[in-house]
Amino acid sequence: MNFQKLDIDLLKTMPLPDWGDDANKGTRGKLLLIGGSARIPGAAILAARAALRCGCGTVRLAAPQGVAIQIGIAVPELMVIPLPETSDGTIARAALEVIAEQFKACQAVVLGPGLDENDETDALSREIADGSPLPTLIDAQALTALGTKAKMGEAPRVLTPHVVEFEAISGKEVADNDRVKIAHDFAAKSGATLVLKGRESVIASPKETPVQNEAGSRALGTAGSGDVLAGIIGSFLAQGLSAQQAAIWGVHFHALAGEAVAKDGGEDGVMARDFIERLPSIQKYLRRQTHSDKKGGFGLRHG
């Protein structure tokens, strides 16, 4: 099946927002991140930091009250929204009312990084996936909770599964030689933008030609890397990009971060946090490449 290559020429057709000198945290987008748990608090931290490093004005973290403060201390730039819990530490159903209030103040949602695996939280994820009135990225355990017959509401949705998660939500096995077609067919049927993650990630949106990424490094195949990607794409959704544009930019940012880290330190022993600090310099480089004819290297070394 035909597809577009993810490269600078494609990115030039969908430039990033051109913020003026008077831009501030209130004008650059507000992201609601729903995630975290006692078992996996770090996933929400990685996603939040990545979103902020990609230029989102503010990130509001809705997390179980038992871990919300600790995550807020780890990322002091966040606004923390503690969610009510049951006696066993599970997010209570009353959390839906708290989250619904946050929808009114935000422009986009990331749902899933670090959420725990249990029936109550899965049910909450399905209700948010269906009911969120905002562009919403669904990742990690929230993806698994969807199953094959989930409803995803009318606002734009971005799904970011790896192959095993995709097979769980689509009911189809994925072979390397049909990834593009399978991703395209799923997007057309579901109405969602799909990022099928892998060595050459595929971005498929309804009624659009699929896009395949060829950049990156095996360094990206590390724990927490997907949480970083979710935060990047969520940041661009909050800044006003369409679901397809946010997914394309996010995948490319993520890939170049992997390349930069591998170039400096190799591809082994890399941690997801290593990618995050590279994101501002990658944005500087890509803005130069897509907004003008200026050329230049990453300038990504720091410290």
- What was the pLDDT predicted at 296? 43
In whole numbers, what is the pLDDT of the chain averaged over residues?
Answer: 93
- The answer on pLDDT for 299 being more than 80 is no
- Kindly report, residue by residue over 23-80, the tens digit of the pLDDT: 999 999 999 999 999 999 999 999 999 999 999 999 999 999 999 999 999 999 999 9
- Kindly report, residue by residue over 139-177, the tens digit of the pLDDT: 999 999 998 877 888 999 999 999 999 999 999 889 877
- What was the pLDDT predicted at 292? 57
Residue whose structure tokens are 């593009």: 180
User: What domains sit in the chain, N to C, each tagged with a CATH number?
Assistant: 4-291 (3.40.1190.20)
Q: What is the mean pLDDT of residues 15-27?
A: 92
Task: Report the percentage of the chain scoring pLDDT > 90.
Answer: 89
Helix ranges restricted to H, 104-224: 119-131, 140-146, 163-170, 179-190
Q: What is the pTM of this model?
A: 0.95
Q: What is the mean pLDDT of residues 8-14?
A: 96
Q: What is the mean pLDDT of residues 233-253?
A: 98
E-state strands within the chain: 4-5, 30-34, 58-64, 79-83, 108-111, 136-138, 157-159, 193-196, 202-204, 211-212
Q: What is the mean pLDDT of residues 244-251?
A: 98
Nearest residue to 213 via CA among 227, 231, 233: 233
CA-to-CA separations, 145 to 41, 126, 267, 270, in angstroms, rounded? 19, 7, 32, 29
- Centre a 10 Å sphere on the Cβ of residue 174 and count the other Cβ atoms it contains: 18
Residues 6+ apart with CB under 8 A from 263: none
Segment among 144-153, 160-169, 211-220, 238-247 with least mean pLDDT = 144-153
